[in-house]
């Protein structure tokens, strides 16, 4: 089997790849990255789900409130609330990108640098 791996470059590459994966999987920084990023993304997911489903439930159960006109114009209160839902989604994306750039990406880079050694 070892002679086969030496003769087959694909098998040698696969073995080297498996060894690198094992090194990364055993690194405590990798576990820290997965844990922190997982908690953070689930929190952001929960926030956006509450906002989106809250808006949908408001549409379903309180149309009269959303149809309330703003001032003397034709725009109802539902329009700015809907725009707010969209802006919250954009803002949460920005929050994730900022945290990924400042916290998650440096951890990934340090893992990659150590892997290349």
**What is this structure's pTM?**
0.76
pLDDT digits (tens, 9 = 90+) for 67-116: 999 988 889 999 999 999 999 999 999 999 999 999 999 999 988 888 77
Q: How far, rounded to the nearest angstrom, does the alpha carbon of residue 100 sit from its chain's CA centroid?
A: 9
Q: How many CB atoms lie within 10 A of CB 31?
A: 11
What are the domain boundaries of the chain?
A: 28-116
Q: Return the SS3 of 69.
A: strand
| 4 — pLDDT class (breaks 50, 70, 90) | low
Between 64 and 7, residue with greater pLDDT: 64
pLDDT digits (tens, 9 = 90+) for 25-39: 888 999 999 999 999
d(CA 52, CA 25): 36
Please give the pLDDT value at position 17.
78
Cα distance from N-terminal residue to C-terminal residue, the chain: 27
């Amino acid at each position: 089997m070892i002679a086969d791996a030496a003769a087959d470059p694909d098998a040698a590459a696969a073995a080297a790849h498996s060894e690198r994966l094992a090194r990364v999987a055993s690194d405590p920084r990798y576990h820290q990255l997965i844990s922190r990023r997982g908690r953070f993304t689930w929190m952001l997911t929960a926030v956006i789900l509450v906002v989106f489903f809250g808006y949908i439930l408001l549409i379903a159960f309180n149309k009269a409130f959303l149809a309330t006109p703003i001032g003397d114009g034709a725009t109802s209160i539902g329009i700015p609330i809907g725009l707010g839902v969209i802006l919250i989604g954009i803002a949460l994306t920005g929050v994730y990108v900022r945290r990924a750039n400042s916290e998650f990406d440096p951890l990934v880079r340090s893992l990659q640098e150590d892997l290349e050694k």
